[in-house]
């Protein structure tokens, strides 16, 4: 369903983790490692929280480093021993070996055929997103695979969206972020971009931010609204 009137975007900017890629394999590994059905959610929340702490304090570590630290914090929070560095690496490497959600290739194919320019914008480092897209078979859909790594600020900092638009020579109002995270769509819209929210199970929009420009349960649903 469409949320508000929108202008036809010249550029689609895709979030990667959870939006394009299914994190179930990583979720299962973290939950099994910590013997808890909620361990992954706790870990991912810590990962996002401390990426924002780094951004606010001007103290940058890449997403992999924060993910490693978050595993230590999770172990401490759960009253368990910290995992050895090698074990943490085995868990974290799974983020580069994730399949796309089933709706992604059909949705990207429709958008590509319709002539949309498409790029990624992820909090993961450059090398990680290259591996992720190659593993998932999605590289060919995108004009560029962009990361916040060069900027050293994490989404949803406004500069992450501005710098992407500037690099692609598109005005913010002519760009649309596509994401399954309410914090990401909120950040994009407050930076002057349009946003499409894929309402995957367990994901919510932020009620105190502008409503997403478009909302749909799958990428093909978003694509239908964009193509018209």
Per DSSP, the residues of the chain read -B-S-----SEEEE--BTTTB-THHHHHHHHHHTT-TTHHHHHHHHHHHHHHHHHHHT----HHHHHHHHHHHHHHHTT-PPPPHHHHHHHHGGGGS-PBPTTHHHHHHHHHHTT-EEEEEESS-HHHHHHHHHHHT-GGG-SEEEESTTTT--TTSHHHHHHHHHHTT--GGGEEEEES-HHHHHHHHHTT-EEEEE--TT----TTSPPPSEEESSHHHHHHHHH-
CATH topology of domain 11-22+98-227: Rossmann fold (3.40.50)
| pLDDT tens readout for residues 179-188 | 999 999 999 9
* 137 Rama sector, left if φ>0, alpha if ψ -120 to 50, beta otherwise: left
Q: In this predicted structure, what is the pLDDT of residue 226?
A: 97
> Look-up: residue for tokens 């060069």?
150
CATH topology of domain 24-95: DNA polymerase; domain 1 (1.10.150)
**For the chain, what are the domain ranges?**
11-22+98-227, 24-95
Q: In this predicted structure, what is the pLDDT of residue 4?
A: 56
Residue 82 structure tokens:
């910290």
pLDDT band at 5 (very low <50, low <70, confident <90, very high): low
Rounded to whole angstroms, the Cα distance separating 141 from 117 reads: 9
pLDDT band at 157 (very low <50, low <70, confident <90, very high): very high
Rounded to whole angstroms, the Cα distance separating 107 from 99 reads: 15
| pLDDT tens readout for residues 19-62 | 999 999 999 999 999 999 999 999 999 999 999 999 999 999 99
Burial of 3 (0-12, 13-18, 19+ CB in 10 A): middle
pLDDT, average across residues 1-17: 81
């Amino acid at each position: 369903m469409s949320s508000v009137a929108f202008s036809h975007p010249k550029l689609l900017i895709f979030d990667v983790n959870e939006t394009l890629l299914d994190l179930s394999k990583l979720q299962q590994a973290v939950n099994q490692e910590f013997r808890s059905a909620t361990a992954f959610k706790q870990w991912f929340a810590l990962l996002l929280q401390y990426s924002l702490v780094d951004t606010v304090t001007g103290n940058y570590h890449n997403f992999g480093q924060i993910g490693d630290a978050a595993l230590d914090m999770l172990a401490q929070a759960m009253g368990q021993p910290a995992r050895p560095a090698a074990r943490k690496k085995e868990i974290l490497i799974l983020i580069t070996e994730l399949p796309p959600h089933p709706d992604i290739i059909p949705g990207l194919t429709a958008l590509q055929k319709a002539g949309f320019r498409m790029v990624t914008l992820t909090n993961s480092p450059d090398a990680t997103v290259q591996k992720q897209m190659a593993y998932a078979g999605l590289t060919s859909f995108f004009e560029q695979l962009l990361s916040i790594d060069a900027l050293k600020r994490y989404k949803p900092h406004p500069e992450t969206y501005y710098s992407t638009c500037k690099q692609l020579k598109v005005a913010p109002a002519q760009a649309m972020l596509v994401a399954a995270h309410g914090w990401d769509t909120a950040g994009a819209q407050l930076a002057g971009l349009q946003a499409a929210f894929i309402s995957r199970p367990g994901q919510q929009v932020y009620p105190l931010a502008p409503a997403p420009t478009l909302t749909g349960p799958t990428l093909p649903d978003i694509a239908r609204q964009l193509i018209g």
